[in-house]
Amino acid sequence: MNLPYRFGRYLLTSKIAAGGMAEVYRAKYFGEGGFVKKVAVKKILPALSSSKDFVTMLCDEAKALVKLQHKNIVQVYELGKDKDSYYISMEYVDGADLRKLFKRVVLESQLIPLKFSCFVIGEILQAIDFAHNLGIIHRDVSPPNILISYNGEVKVADFGIAKGGHRQFETVVTEVKGKYSYMSPEQAGGKPVDIRTDIYAIGVIFYELVTGKRLFDAPNDFLAIEQVKKSELPEGWQMSMPEELSQIISHALRKESTDRYCSAADFLDELKQYIVKSGLAADSMELSQYIKDLFNSEYKKDANELKHKKNTQIDYLWEGGKKEAEKKSGRIISFASFTIISALLFSSGSSLNNSKNIVEDKDKPLDSFGTISVQARPWAYVYIPEALEKKETPVRNVKLKSGNYILKVNYEPDDLWLQKEITISDAKHVKCFADFIEQHALTCQSFR
């Protein structure tokens, strides 16, 4: 699927993440009178659209999120279907998830300030307590599902495997769901769970925020499950933090669920007392500045895009095309017209493409140029300075003038980059493959 892409009432602009069940995209919703709203669209994978069980799971998530109207929970807007594809549109949180935050501080050889760790956990506990009071257990509280906005908001996302009365489709008890390193021992063992499974997961996250280290970091899923089931904590881990804080975390990480906090509210009460006693109070404004400083380049880029969004080609594509059609026919542009305009605007010969090295003159001899194709695993965005700007893989047969280029490939969900210098020769085709899963390498071959 080439982006931007018209999907239902939305324009998908870039991919955020992909999982075993669905893909998540940044998108724009266009309303009347020039109204534009940035949203996230969770789209079930095409291969699963015919599966009643997977579609029901998506519907379950929407039903859960509709109930969960809370400042610390990602809000759902719509459950819909476009042709044969189901989707959920939801609040877009402009910032970073905890997994990305962990990686950034490790890269900077830092620790997250303790006051911010306590603040983030407090916000998570408020969200989870609200869900528990509605009879909903999250069952997948983990760093990728904790979002922190540039405004300092902390939001819990992805109730896709949540357990509660909203569910039509339930997995069997012995089926393990969620991310292994953040499961409670009972969940990893396929046993029945209650609200205390979420409390254990929050304890794991709290430990990692404070220490800057993974609690369970096995080389494969089997060993991770075994570690969690045994609930073996590193020896002397309490020495890395104040005693009172280690007691709070260890209370959440008890192997037996009956020995843990009885509720998220109880966990939160003890945490609040510790924050006051230790002088570690923080607020969203302070966290906002910390996140903006830590992700300075990303924040500036997002802010610049927002500032100039009225001048982007995507807005022109949607709004300009719609106004032109309304002038001619008095009605909103049809999907067929949108497809035609998309093809014209985004083809390699489009006047919108200001990349000076891409071939536009068909009269020039073919042997003066070469082509390049790029594949990636799992997927990625491709950049070639002054030639190609953020094109999603697979990229096929892009025609370039002969010469040397820098090829950059980015797997955006984990902020992973691969880079290689390539040579485009007369009438030759370069094929490149970026592997972000096993080899973490970018390889290229040239063919005539």
| Residues catalogued as catalytic | 140
- Chain centroid to Cα 373, Å, comes to 26
> In angstroms, rounded to a whole number, what is the distance separating the alpha carbons of residues 321 and 154?
37
Strands 146-149 and 441-447: unpaired
417 has which bridge partners? 410
For residue 19, the one-letter residue type is G
d(CA 198, CA 124): 10
Q: Which two tokens stand for residue 383?
A: 């950049």
Q: Closest by alpha carbon to 15, among 437, 387, 390, 440?
A: 390
Q: From CA 348, how far away is CA 2, in angstroms rounded?
A: 13
Closest residue by Cα to residue 11 from 413, 342, 349, 355: 342
Residue whose tokens read 């970018």? 442
Task: Report the DSSP pairing between strands 441-447 and 429-435.
Answer: antiparallel
What span, in angstroms and rounded, lies between the C-alpha atoms of 433 and 445? 9
Name 419's bridge partners. Answer: 408
DSSP annotation string for 270-292: HHHHHHHHHT----HHHHHHHHH
Determine how many CB atoms are found less than 10 A away from the CB of residue 447. 9
Distance, CA of 105 to CA of 99 (rounded, Å): 10
